């Protein structure tokens, strides 16, 4: 999973740094695991723009990912490693011993031909899914459930991981990607390893066109807007725009927006570091 830097033969190539896609083994997805993906262009049912900066982009199909990994005790073999246009991580097509095919989030280092397992019989090896109660302390994990049987919700993007620090009663203590330490029930599942494509954050598109291919339209700087459009708009000539804040007036720096009475606060042992 290395990066590829281009020679400046054109303005678009000058700053382009992208993945070399060496780990990808096929360009053809599994047809039975595809679903249609409708584009709204940021418009609602009346045709009015309700979300800005959305539109265009290449036609995409959704890949149905197995976030639950609940086929316990049935070994599966990795058939392909594939690109997924809907996420930053790579995905792996696995074929179970009973013939069923599923897509999973591919951890870093997973290769074609590797056998994976989930459930109580699984060992702490890359790609295996285990209950937090059975995972050794200090293990690097991803695809973590918040509630038992819900399916993975945390540490799913490229290069993301958490670490199992300790256990306390019926809870496991995890250090999250944000630096936050929180408690999660030991009956929840997690997958061993780091999510694939860790160099994603180092990629540079090189030109505006590549961003348009992803379905993102150009953003307008708040300071360039009129006072009617944004709290930071207006003024004579080039103005600073005052205190940075959102379109609805919420301060952008240092202002806490989390609900003080949020139910999940009791599970947070230590807040993320600023």
Q: Can you give the CATH number for the domain in which 168 is found?
A: 2.40.50.140
Asked if residue 29 is part of any domain, the answer here is yes
Asked if residue 179 is part of any domain, the answer here is yes
DSSP letters along 192-224, please? ESPBS-GGGGG-B--SHHHHHHTTBPPPPPGGG
* Residue 185 · residue 169 · CB < 8 Å: no
pLDDT of 272 reads 80
Asked if residue 233 is part of any domain, the answer here is no
pLDDT of 238 reads 86
Counting the structural domains of the chain, the total is 1
- Helix/strand/coil for 137: coil
Q: What average pLDDT score do residues 97-126 get?
A: 96
Asked if residue 240 is part of any domain, the answer here is no
Asked if residue 98 is part of any domain, the answer here is yes
pTM: 0.91
pLDDT of 183 reads 97
- Helix/strand/coil for 267: helix
CA angle 157, 33, 80 (to 5 degrees): 65
Residue 194 sits in which domain range?
A: 3-39+57-200+263-270
Q: Is the pLDDT of residue 174 over 90?
A: yes
The token pair that represents 12 in the structure block: 């678009």
Asked if residue 242 is part of any domain, the answer here is no
* Residue 143 · residue 67 · CB < 8 Å: yes
pLDDT in tens, 203-245: 999 999 999 999 999 999 999 999 999 999 999 988 888 899 9
**Residue 176: alpha-carbon gap to chain centroid:** 14
Q: Look-up: residue for tokens 């496991």?
A: 172
Predicted confidence band at 35 (pLDDT cuts at 50, 70, 90)?
very high
**Among residues 42, 45, 39, 38, which one has the least CA distance to residue 53?**
42
Q: Look-up: residue for tokens 């029930």?
A: 185
Asked if residue 236 is part of any domain, the answer here is no
Asked if residue 33 is part of any domain, the answer here is yes
CA angle 168, 152, 183 (to 5 degrees): 20
């Amino acid at each position: 999973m290395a990066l590829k830097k281009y020679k400046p033969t054109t303005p678009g190539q000058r700053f382009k740094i992208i993945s070399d896609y060496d780990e990808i083994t096929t360009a053809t997805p599994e047809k039975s695991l595809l679903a249609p993906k409708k584009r709204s262009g940021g418009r609602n049912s009346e045709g009015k723009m309700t979300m800005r900066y959305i539109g265009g982009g290449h036609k995409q199909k959704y890949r149905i990912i197995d976030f639950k990994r609940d086929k316990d005790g049935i070994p599966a073999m990795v058939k392909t490693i594939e690109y997924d246009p809907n996420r930053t991580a790579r995905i792996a097509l696995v074929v179970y011993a009973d013939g069923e095919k599923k897509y999973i989030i591919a951890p870093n280092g997973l290769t074609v031909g590797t056998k994976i397992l989930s459930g109580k019989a699984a060992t702490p090896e890359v790609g295996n899914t285990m209950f937090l109660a059975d995972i050794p302390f200090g293990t690097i994990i991803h695809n973590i459930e918040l509630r038992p049987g819900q399916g993975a919700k945390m540490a799913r993007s490229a290069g993301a991981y958490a670490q199992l620090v300790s256990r306390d009663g019926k809870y496991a203590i995890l250090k999250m990607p944000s630096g936050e330490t929180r408690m999660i029930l030991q009956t929840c599942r997690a997958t061993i390893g780091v999510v694939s494509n860790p160099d994603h954050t180092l990629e540079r598109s090189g030109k505006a066109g590549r961003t348009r291919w992803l379905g993102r339209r150009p953003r307008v700087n708040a300071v360039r807007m009129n006072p009617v459009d944004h709290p930071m708009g207006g003024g004579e000539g080039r103005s600073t725009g005052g205190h940075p804040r959102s379109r609805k007036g919420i301060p952008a720096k240092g202002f806490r927006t989390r609900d003080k009475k949020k139910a999940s606060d009791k599970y947070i042992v230590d807040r993320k570091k600023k």
